[in-house]
Structures are given as C-alpha cells and as structure tokens.
Chain A
Amino acid sequence: MKHQLLHFALVGFLCAINACEMRSGPVDVEVLVARPQEPQQFQLSTVTLQTAVDVHQGIAERFRIRGGLQVNAQTMMDTLATDDIDRSQMNERALGEGGAVVAPRLQWDGARYVAEDFDTLQYLTLFHLFEQVWRFFDEVVQDRSIATQSPGLIGFYGSVGLADGIPVPVLSHDNAVYLAFLDGWLTFRSADITGGVPFAMNPGVVAHEFQHRVFFHQVFGDAHFSTWKRWILSDGPLTEAGVLLKGVDEGLSDIHAAGFVRSLAFMTPTLVDDLADEALFRDLGGEFAAAVTWEGLATGFGLSRAAERHCGVTRDAGLDAELRYYCLGTLVARTLWDGAGEEFDPLRDQLLPPLNLALSEFGDAVAAESADAGELRVPIEALWRALLRRVEPSIRATLCQALDARWQGAWAPGALSECR
C-alpha cells in the first residue's frame, strides 16, 4: 500500500511537470472529430491513439510526424533531370535534413492528453486521422501496396520551397498535400485560416491525400517510375493526357474520402469563404456532380454558370487546365458513386477493393501506351475495364449504366466489352 501511494505520488508529480511516461499507445487524447451522424459538424472528443509509439515526438507504429519539413520543388526537378536515380533515392533527397522533432504542448489531465494550443490540437487530430485512415485503407480498401504496407512520413507545418538556399516557401497556405517526391504528406500552417475546418483537421482531406499515395504506388511506383519521371519532367503546359491523369487521381481520392467519411460533401466544411466556389464542383452529391458528363466538360453543356466558370472546357489543355482537373475528378468520382448504387456500404465493401486492384493494371496500360507514343498517354477505358472485370455482377451492371450515361464520346463505341 505504501509503495502504491509512493508510485502514484511519483507519477502524479512527473505528470504535473509534463514528464510522465504515458507516451505510447493506447493513449487517450482529445481531438477534433466530426459528429456521429453529422459529418459536417465538428466538436472536441476523446479518442484513443492505438498505435502511438511516442505521442510527444509524433511517432506511431506506421508513420512519423516531423515538424517544419521543407521540400524544394525546383531542386527536386533538377535532381530528377540530371541524376539517374530511382524512387527511393528521390525520396531520400527530398527528405533533406528530415525536419525537426515536433514539440506538442500536451497537458495530462489525469485521464487523457489535451492540447494546450491550436497547433497541438491540429497535431493530435492529424495523428488520430492518419491512424483511422490507415486502418481504412488496410482493412476496407485492402490496399497491399507500399502506400499502406510501408511506413509513412507526415511533415507537420511543412512547406514547399523553390530551391535550396531560397528559404521563402512558395506554398504554405492552409492545405494538405501528398508529394510523390517525398513519398509523404505535408500539412501547411496558415495565419489566415478561413472560416472553415482546417484542411489537416478534415478526415475527408486526410483520406483524399492518403489515396494519392496509393495511386502513385499502384499506377507508377517502382515498376513504372520512369514513366512518371518522363511525365513530370516534360516541358510545357499540362497536356490533355496530363489533365486526364490528374483528374483520375483526384476523382479516386475524392471517392475514397467520401467512402471513408460516409459523406459526399466531405470538402464542404473546409471549402468556405474564398474557396466556396470550389465546393460547387467537389460536392459529389451536388448539382454539378449530378449533371457532369464527359461531353459536358468538353463543351460546357449542362453545367451551371458557376461550374462552367471553373470547369468549362476542362479537357482543353492550357495554363488554366491546372485548376480544372478537379472537375474531371468529380466526373470520375460521381461515376463510381453511381456504380455503387449511391450507397456507402456497397461503395466501401464491393467497389473500393476491386478498384484498388484495378489500379496496377491501369498503370501497366498507361506505361505501355506512353512508351509507344513517347509521351504520356492515359487510356482511361483501361481503368474502367480493369474495374469491371473485378466487381460483382450487380455492381458491374450499375457501373456500366453510369459509364454509358456519363462517358459518351470518351472511347470508341463497344470498347468496354465487359458491359455487353
């Protein structure tokens, strides 16, 4: 009894000076979560970090969170152009000094850690979301690529700079991204967060970014790294194939995010104020998504004025195309949502796992056609065919209907033999 009292007294003292050893999981923490049944509403809640190795230093079993990581884009482009490096060497170069150990301001209240400031609340929320999303991709999507099976790196409050020796970051507004250069994610710090939920605290955004890693490894990865490299290094504005590839990437990220959150409007809590227009064409249940077709994106036909401003003639390559592949992404995502019968359970259980398997076959097709053409080619029908071969007959039927309704003109009639 005396020893127990001494033990409690010692632990209590250590915790009072923030030195107690409750660092590794399971660790209870307070984070920002979407309300159950109300994914648009967010509140504080206590969750358990199941895989924390050291919550004070951002270390989990499957990922590390590092602070202040800066990736220099032009330096990486120059490195890719001049050096014959493979993917892992590229990731090592991008990592540079590897950022800094995060120093969250945690307070142990006797039962859980609570954040002492906004930055720490964002850090804890991000830690929790990556745990949840990782489990989703492992258990629900059943991804077996490097993306899910190998450790990941998250740069908390990182930045994308122009080059070594130029410290001013070129991208540091509130956002979250996956960078293939780094094979990791960056979240950005912002002094001007909008009235919405910050990107890194939105579960849909984290799932969206996670799928980008899956897409990169399934479609390119080590096997077709040279295809990716040639495309990244190609000069000039984004070509139609480039828009299409990025559109597919964004669309698949959106549908996985929707499946994870079980909400078609997972971006809406974040896309407010200056970004509100984007919510018009990112909401998979919205007016634009309901009307969008391949032809519509080419001609503006059937699109609302607001959507046309952003998405009209999306497939025309040009400088503006950089912003328009999200519109194409909505077409991809909405097609898959139609194919799932507009239900989340079939989407998660019957469509996303075969879609994941179809990606590597799509990657093979992209690599083969690009090699033949000497430039990027994106045979979009190869993705759909690979998927159609892998889904249940009931899903195949609804997916074929959706493809027929939305993708007229995208490929030669009868090209999808699986739909006959």
Chain B
Amino acid sequence: MMRGARLICGGLACVGPLLWVTSARATEPGDAGTRTGNQAAVEVLVEVAATPSVAGAGTDLDVAYGVRGFWPLGGAPVGFWGVDVAALAAFAREGGERIAVSESLLFLEPRLLWGAALPLGVAEWSLYLFLGAHLGGGVRTYYSDAEPQIRALARWGGRLGVGHGVRFGDGWLRMELGGGIRDGRPEVLSTLGLGWWY
C-alpha cells in the first residue's frame, strides 16, 4: 500500500513540469485546441479501487461502473479548467452461498480538472490533474441462516490524481491513476473511460 502511494507521489512530481511545458506550447489563451467552447463529453467508465486488506497485507479490489459528463470551463492562465461529474454503481458480494455480506452502492463523484491539451494532427492528447469528492450510499446485506439483514450505508471520500486522454474526432478515451480517502481509509484507484464529444 505504501509502495503504491509513493509511486503516485513520484508520478505527480513528474507530471507537474510536463504539464507546464505542454501547456506553454499548446494551450495558450485562445489556442486551447478543440477543448474550449461549449462542447461537453460523456463517457462510460470502469473504476478499480484498491484498499488495504483487512488482514493488513495485500489489497482488496472494488470495481465500479458508471457514466461521466465532462465540461471544459475554458482557458486557465496556464492550460485549461474543467469539471466533470460521474455517477457510479457498484455491487460486491463476499463469502459463500450461506454466509456472506454484499454491498450495493450508488455514488456521485464531482471533480475539478486542470490540464493541458496538445493537438497531434487528427488527434488531441490531454494531460490533467483532478481533485474530487465522492458521496453516495446504498445497502449492505448480511446473509446467514436467518433472514437477510439489510442496512443502509454511506460512502464518502476525496480523491486526487492524474489522468490523460486521447480524442479522435468525437471519440474519447482516457485513463487515470489516483489516490485518496474512502470512508476514512486510504485507497488507490485506476479508471478507464470511453466516451464521445458533442
């Protein structure tokens, strides 16, 4: 877990200067590629989050699926600003057929993005940092020989990370790596999104 956190910090340290360089070249005010204007993007995404195992060694993986809308806010002094909001759903069940615990979750993840875009002929590559929160809830169900017990649960947290995306025409593919806090515990996450601009 600690090794993962150090990798991310190292990654961010590298990304900062790179972002500045690409911003200086490609996203001067009035020349923000195809990102500025009134366009927005919608994407479907899969998110894999790793949290420390209960056993204290290794990690547990949680997978969530969802949709995300992205709205560029225009040029920043360096690069561009944007916001996006994702609605994600997750279901997980651990245990066996008889004794088990399951979770069904829905949560929203609003984020602020700052990055730069670099036109590459027919494509455009962008690199950005994101900072966001996630809030949601659902139910946790405990299965035993008695009637299943269903209880409400809340999900909260915050995330920080780096992502990059490639746009081909109206198509859009992006990947992210980040870390944060979920329900008071650290997590590392990776996201893959596939979308389109309109």
Contacts and interface: CB of A to CB of B under 8 A. Distances in A.
A157 B53 contact: yes
B39 interface: no
Interface residues of A, number: 37
Interface in B135-165: 140, 142, 144-146, 149, 151, 153
Contacts of A99: 56-57
Contacts of A198: 95-96, 99
B54 A196 contact: no
Contact of A196 (B55, B96, B149): B96
Nearest to A19: B184
Contacts of B6: none
Contacts of A345: none
Contact of A103 (B53, B95, B140, B153): B53
B144 A102 contact: no
Interface string B97-127: 1111101000000000000000000000000
Contact of B99 (A35, A42, A103, A189): A42
B142 A44 contact: yes
A121 interface: yes
A118 B94 contact: yes
A111 interface: no
Contact of B56 (A32, A102, A189): A102
A67 B55 contact: yes
B57 A42 contact: no
B140 A116 contact: yes
B56 A105 contact: no
B3 interface: no
B58 interface: yes
Interface in A90-117: 99-105, 114-117
B96 A101 contact: no
A44 B145 CA distance: 9
Contacts of B183: 18, 105, 116
Contacts of A35: 145
Nearest to A68: B57
A44 B146 contact: yes
A197 B55 contact: no
Interface in B28-84: 52-58, 60
18 contacts: A32-B144, A43-B144, A67-B53, A67-B54, A67-B57, A100-B55, A100-B56, A105-B54, A105-B183, A116-B153, A117-B101, A156-B54, A157-B54, A157-B55, A193-B96, A194-B96, A198-B99, A201-B99
Interface of A: 17-18, 32, 35, 41-44, 66-68, 99-105, 114-121, 123, 156-157, 189, 193-198, 201
Given A44-B146, A118-B95, A123-B54, 15 more contacts: A18-B184, A42-B144, A43-B145, A68-B55, A101-B56, A103-B53, A104-B54, A114-B151, A117-B94, A157-B54, A157-B57, A193-B99, A195-B96, A195-B98, A198-B96
